[in-house]
Amino acid sequence: MVRKDLIKTLALLSLTGLLYGCGKKDPKTDPASDPVPVVIQLTPNEGVYSFYENRAGELRHVGPTETPTPTPPPAAVKQDTGAAPAPGQEQKQPVETQPAAGATCYDISDLESRVYSADQEAMIAEFYRNTVFTGDSVLLGFKNYCAKSSDPLLKNLKFLASGSYSLHNAFWEVSDKSIHPLYQGQQYPLWESIPMMGVERAFLFFGINDVSFGVDESLSMYPLLIEKITSAAPGLDVTILSATYTLKDKGKGSLNNNNLASFNTGAAKLAAEKGWGYIDLATVLSDGAGNLAEKYCSDGELHENELAYRVWVMMLKAYAAERMGF
């Protein structure tokens, strides 16, 4: 009896295999059988914002978004998994807005009162002639502002900026998931693209997409990144631009103005210790209470408008003037 049942089972299996083989399509002859490509959909995530540039060169706000998982993944970091504070509760402690000693900080009334001669303007433009700015979507906004300007100083600036770029994903290997800024149509890590550009100065704008991973963890990555860049580009003059704030109560979880202020204070101290330049953008653009002033905001969250970028230009001119001694 057992033998008969076994024979029946084997017969059924053979028939099933035959039917499957007859119905299976050959991928070489039937295009419909080709594997369907997997589309990676970026999903909302607290603490990471981005812009994208459309074909007309205009920036559209599409954040917050999650950046893709790196390939291969970087060293493990501690992610803040606590629940986000209730609206209006992100800043229970006073925000420290004064940078560390050695940081270059300006007052808006002082900036607006500065007047440069034609020769000085030419010297400032020359100071920035071989300069690259690298960073995230807020810097992309500055890139777009410069592209529309007729000012020779701004027209000559170079950019390596990408939406959602951070100190963390700056270390990802180049892949279809990485978001390194494009140089000549291709992605490169900064320690490859910056030397290829042959620039003399680099201004780095990071922090907004980093503080969600922890302030101390993020700060520890600044020296690693800069040392990797300067090893490939000896003699590069490096300046850190402070991360700018969000509007009041518009922080997302760990991305809040307390953490951004702490990050900026730590970055200013690092710059003083390492001999890098440092410009405090955050304080000048703040409302005096550690938030981005509403008049400088373009999207009701943290991205900036042309009025803000005019202040950026005033600060950059003042910084160059002081570096050159006038």
Helix ranges, the chain (H): 2-23, 108-113, 118-127, 137-148, 152-155, 190-197, 215-219, 221-232, 257-274, 281-284, 306-323
Segment 18-44 shows an average pLDDT of 36
- Could you tell me the residue ranges of all domains in the chain? 100-323
Q: What is the C-alpha to C-alpha distance for residues 154 and 254, in angstroms, rounded to an integer?
A: 34
Q: What is the per-residue pLDDT for 106?
A: 77
Mean of the per-residue pLDDT values for the chain? 78
Q: What is the C-alpha to C-alpha distance for residues 244 and 221, in angstroms, rounded to an integer?
A: 18
Which tens digit of pLDDT belongs to each residue from 172-231?
999 999 999 999 999 999 999 999 999 999 999 999 999 999 999 999 999 999 999 999
pLDDT band, residue 5 (cuts 50/70/90)? low
Q: What is the C-alpha to C-alpha distance for residues 99 and 243, in angstroms, rounded to an integer?
A: 12
Structure tokens at 284: 């000048």
Nearest by Cα to 255 from 293, 198, 325, 207: 207
In DSSP notation, 143-163 reads HHHHHH---HHHHT-EEEE-T
Query: Burial, 231: exposed, middle or buried (Cβ in 10 Å; 0-12, 13-18, 19+)?
Result: exposed
**Largest distance between two CA atoms of the chain:** 107
More confident residue, 310 or 67: 310
Q: State the amino acid at position 111 in one-letter form.
A: L
Segment 76-90 shows an average pLDDT of 40
Alpha carbon 287 to chain centroid, angstroms: 23
Q: What is the per-residue pLDDT for 107?
A: 85
Q: What is the per-residue pLDDT for 174?
A: 97
Predicted TM-score (pTM) above 0.75? no
Query: Burial, 292: exposed, middle or buried (Cβ in 10 Å; 0-12, 13-18, 19+)?
Result: buried
Which tens digit of pLDDT belongs to each residue from 89-131?
344 343 444 444 445 667 899 999 999 999 999 999 999 999 9
Q: What is the per-residue pLDDT for 94?
A: 36
> Over pLDDT 70: what percentage of the chain?
68
Angle formed by the axes of helices 257-274 and 221-232, nearest 10°: 40
Tokens 């998994």 found at: 81
Angle formed by the axes of helices 306-323 and 137-148, nearest 10°: 90
Residue 6 has pLDDT above 70, yes or no: no
Q: What is the C-alpha to C-alpha distance for residues 271 and 269, in angstroms, rounded to an integer?
A: 5
Residue 39 has pLDDT above 70, yes or no: no
pLDDT band, residue 45 (cuts 50/70/90)? very low
Please say whether the beta carbons of 145 and 309 come within 8 A.
yes
Alpha carbon 140 to chain centroid, angstroms: 9
In DSSP notation, 188-211 reads --HHHHHHHHT-SEEEEE--TTTG
Asked if the bond preceding 64 is cis, omega within 30° of 0, the reply is yes
Query: Domain spanning 100-323: which superfamily?
Result: SGNH hydrolase (3.40.50.1110)
